[in-house]
Amino acid sequence: MLRLFIVLVSCYAAMCREVDKFDPESAACRPDEEFSLLHPCPGEETCITRDDRLSCLAIPQPYVPHCVCKKGLYRAEDGSCYNDEQCDKWKCPGDHEHFECASECDNVCATLDIQNKTNCPIRRFKYFNICSPKCYCDDGYARDDDGNCIPIEDCGVLEKY
């Protein structure tokens, strides 16, 4: 156990020395990024993790020199930096859809007459509502058999909902 501790402390000290040698002026950050020394955990906020609070182990972590998205921007999986609205659109790349935490049911052409966003039979709890964070079709649209959001009048199922 003592050997492991010595190895960990040695590695930590070596990494810290490397960070001290790093020159921020040589960092080639993009215009929407800035240079930062970042802990590996929790790391940079992303479009996916921006609403989550990550818990990290309480162990010493070296800072890592890194280009991070500027304040108010979040890293997307494609490496770009996006604001909140762009992140939501990035999560839902299809036309006429958006990201929100809402009813479990979305408008789907095949089931519009049985269930939809406003008439969802999935159980709700008595004292609190649970929402489902995901991509939903915009109002007036429903998913076709291919998963695309199309105008409801193009569904062929013209039930009131």
CATH number at residue 135: 2.10.25.10
Task: Supply the DSSP string of 46-104, one letter for each residue.
Answer: BTTTTT------SS----EEEEEEPTT-EE-TTS-EE-HHHHHHHHS-STTEEEEEE-S
Q: Are 136 and 121 in contact (CB under 8 A)?
A: no
Indicate the number of domains in the chain: 2
pLDDT computed for residue 24 by the predictor: 53
Distance of CA 43 to the CA centre of its chain: 14
pLDDT of residue 3: 52
Residue 139 in domain: yes
The rounded average pLDDT for each run of 10 residues, N- to C-terminus, in the chain (161 residues) is 44 44 64 84 77 69 84 86 82 79 84 83 61 82 92 73 45
Angstrom CA distances, 124 to 112, 115, 127, 138, stand at: 20, 14, 9, 23
Structure-token pair, residue 144: 């076709």
Rg of the chain, C-alpha, whole Å: 23
Q: Give me the pLDDT at residue 151, please.
A: 94
Q: What is the pLDDT of residue 19?
A: 42
Same domain, 56 and 113: no
**Alpha carbons 84 and 88: distance in angstroms, whole number:** 6
Kindly state whether residues 12 and 51 are assigned to the same domain.
yes
What pLDDT sits at residue 71?
92
Q: What is the pTM of this model?
A: 0.47
Q: Which domain holds residue 147?
A: 92-154
Q: What pLDDT sits at residue 54?
A: 64
Read off the CATH number of the domain in which 52 is found.
2.10.25
CB atoms within 10 A of CB 109: 19
Whether residue 112 is contained in a domain is answered as: yes
Of 24, 49, 82, the last residue of a domain is 82
